[in-house]
Structure 1
Amino acid sequence: MMRTDGNVLHHRQAEAAEGHDAFAALYDPTTIRHLEAVGVRPGWRCWGIGSTSLVSWLAKRVGPTGRVLATPVDTTWSAPAARPPVEILNHDIASGEPPAGGFDLVHARLPFVEAADRERAVRAMAAALRPGGHLLIEDTDPELQPLACPDEHGPGERLANRLRRGIHELRTARGQSHAQSHAQGRVLPRLLRQAGLTEVTADAYIPYADPACARLESATVRLLGDRLLVAGLATAGDIEEHLGNLATGELALSAAPLISARGRKSQASKVR
């Protein structure tokens, strides 16, 4: 896993892009289900944060009379094409003032990657809504289902779960250093209510035995493999064996639960 060919950045970018594509394949249908329940329609003004894979879907729904403002959270992902009705905005959701004018929909997926103050970020997103507008926030919560292989019946599954625990340990340590909890998803309904939204609902989706789970797992292990080795959480043999097991397609893998929480701004509220 230790790169010696001088192309570390290239490998990291390729693995990150592969993981992003697998994540979108796993979770976009769930997000679209929620967006359809909200009722996105022509003429709407939408602000999409983090979910660049859904920008085209939103643009088709709002049509030429609408607007889609796209804010990538992680700049390693490719930005969507900035053609009307899509505009790109590089914006700090936690410390910057929300875009003016009022949105019919604000959708954010994994919005706390760089936002140290979750409460402030949610308040800013809620403030960007017009009266009656909808806020949909989605984040993962690995602690709610921490196993890579819930059916741990063989050595391949046991190895997968051991490496998943190692990855969780790495990410938890990083989250603590940034004064954040790794359990992001479960707090979303509370944060929406604290921001003054009504009609708050939420659900959780756990992908299981989907081929994209293996692609996401492979990209994640290759991306974090060096850190697992340095931390003593895995050997090079462990990682290579696990990647080989993934390549067979025989592991019934699970990915982290995605919590989707949505709420609505009161009709009586004033646009800030």
Structure 2
Amino acid sequence: MTDGGGYLLDNQQPEAGARFTALEALFDPSTFRHIDALGIRAGWRCWEVGAGGTSVPAWLASRVGPAGHVLATDIDTSWTGSGSGAGYEVRRHDVGVDPPPDDRFDLVHARLVLVHVPQRARALAAMMASVRPGGWLLLEEADPSLQPLVCPDEHAPPQRLANKLKHDFRTLMAARGVDLAYGRTLPRLLREAGLVDVAADAYFPVAGPACAALEHATTRQVRASLTRAGLATDAEIDQHLANIEAGLLDLATSPMISAWGRVPS
């Protein structure tokens, strides 16, 4: 998801830490629920693709214990930590370009990764090839087209402005190759890849402090891109940020589609 050669949501920007914290608060409970349901236990080998922050690899390491192994990879490991104190390995890796790790895993997991990877099919094939027979692939991707409003209760000008700016942001994303309807395709893609026991669900919060924190950080992070593209004005963005800070908005996330399947034994 690039803007003039750089990422719209670049991990090097100061707002990235606030975004990761909000995403962890919003979606870690759902992610952990799914992985627990897949039967994670001591000794498993796990690959966390596009780890971003520390919360998921650290949680995985706590589940698999010293007998297991967790590899956390990202194109930018600025926020992933060293992993040494939390029991996981960190490696810089571009899943759409680089060869997959020379290993097989009981679980491969990626959240909010593939939708931003131009070489999505290649990345999915790499993850598939890294799951051992009997192991699981869990993919989680947002699907903004399923529910396009950041304020579903659009009852006044502040909510209408919020939805206008979210539409502008997604216009920018789509122009840079982000598939805003990718999440819904995950069950089909897993079946077509030959996985069995495929299932999926959707989850999205509709209000709360973490939703507001995520919207505030994201808006600040993409501000320059929106104004440079002529999609929004500084006055609109300033008003939206003020509305968030005043607690005027019930802010929703896009639906997160979680889909999982098992490689046949």
Q: TM-score, normalised by structure 1?
A: 0.87
CA distance in 2, matches of 1:101, 1:229: 45
Q: Please state if 1:45 is matched with 2:45.
A: yes
| 1:119 aligned partner | 121
Matches within 5 A, 1:165-204: 165-175=167-177, 181-204=179-202
Q: Which runs of 5+ in 2 are unaligned?
A: 1-9
Provide the identity percentage: 52
Cα deviation for residue 183 of structure 1 reads: 2.2
Q: Which runs of at least 4 in structure 1 moved beyond 6 Å after TM superposition?
A: none
The structure richer in helix per residue is 1
CA distance in 2, matches of 1:19, 1:41: 30
Distance 1:225 1:12, change over 3 A: farther
| 1:129 aligned partner | 131
Distance 1:132 1:11, change over 3 A: closer
CA distance in 1, matches of 2:210, 2:131: 34
- RMSD over aligned Cα, in angstroms? 2.0
Q: Please state if 1:160 is matched with 2:162.
A: yes
CA distance in 1, matches of 2:191, 2:230: 42
Alpha carbons 1:67, 1:84 under 8 Å: kept: no
Deviations 1:174-218 (A, max 9, x none): 11xxxx523221121122112211111111111111211111111
SS at match of 1:260: strand
Q: Please state if 1:251 is matched with 2:249.
A: yes
SS at match of 1:89: strand
Cα deviation for residue 137 of structure 1 reads: 0.8
Cα deviation for residue 228 of structure 1 reads: 1.6
| 2:142 aligned partner | 140
Equivalent of residue 211 in structure 1, options 209, 214, 223: 209
Work out which of the two has the higher radius of gyration on C-alpha atoms and give 1 or 2. 1
CA distance in 1, matches of 2:96, 2:171: 26
| 1:97 aligned partner | 99
Cα deviation for residue 97 of structure 1 reads: 3.1
Q: TM-score, normalised by structure 2?
A: 0.89
Q: Which runs of 5+ in 1 are unaligned?
A: 1-9, 268-272
Matches within 5 A, 1:201-240: 201-240=199-238
Matches within 5 A, 1:250-269: 250-267=248-265
| 1:54 aligned partner | 56
Alpha carbons 1:122, 1:195 under 8 Å: kept: no
Count of residues in Structure 1 that have an aligned counterpart in Structure 2: 254
